[in-house]
Amino acid sequence: MAKAKVKIASFDKLKNTVREPNVVELMPWKSIHKEIAEPMLTGMGNMEIKDSHLAMGFARITEPVTMGMPTHKHPHDQWIWLIGEPEHFYEFDADVEMTLGKKIIKINYPCYIFIPKNIMHCPLAVKRVGKPFIFIDARISEEASVRPKAYKKHAAIKYIANPKKK
């Protein structure tokens, strides 16, 4: 039986569907990171359900990619999970580097990374992918969206380039 072709929305046209008062159907969309070719799923917190402040994005990473540039900070906490695919989520066969504060963390194991508010972080650089893995990005914030246009609306979110090394 052939799989149906999935229609993928662009980032600006992403629109999940609220099916019940507290149930949202996730729709596939094209990542803002052009290197991620496969569809992503993202729950957008209070854009979909009033008083829901958790936003999460899920992507399948199949090849090296660098995300989150330039180094930046947010006025909210953030969590990033790097795990194997669902049938073996505890297996992680990739090499990743993540800038957190003034340190570059090297990761080759399933994990989550806690990024406290106002801590400089990124880029997240996937250097090698032996087996595809799942990237999850989560935050709790009253901001409506992590969409690029929202950064213009919410002055509290700032992108700051890496400080020059002395």
DSSP states of 116-165: -TT--EEEEEEEEESS-EEEEEEEE-SSS--SHHHHHH-TT-EE-PPPPP
8 occurs within a structural domain: no
Q: Which residue has the higher pLDDT, 140 or 114?
A: 114
| Predicted pLDDT at 3 | 53
1 occurs within a structural domain: no
| Predicted pLDDT at 62 | 92
Q: Across the strands, what pairs with 82? A: 111, 135
Residue range of the domain that includes 43 = 20-159
Q: What is the mean pLDDT of the chain?
A: 80
pLDDT band at 122 (very low <50, low <70, confident <90, very high): very high
| Predicted pLDDT at 5 | 59
Q: Once rounded to an integer, what is the mean pLDDT over residues 52-59?
A: 88
- Domains in the chain, number: 1
- Residue 88 DSSP code: G
- Rg (the chain; Cα; Å): 16
97 occurs within a structural domain: yes
Examine the pLDDT at 164 and tell me if it is beyond 50: no
In the chain, DSSP finds a helix count (H) and a strand count (E) of 1, 13
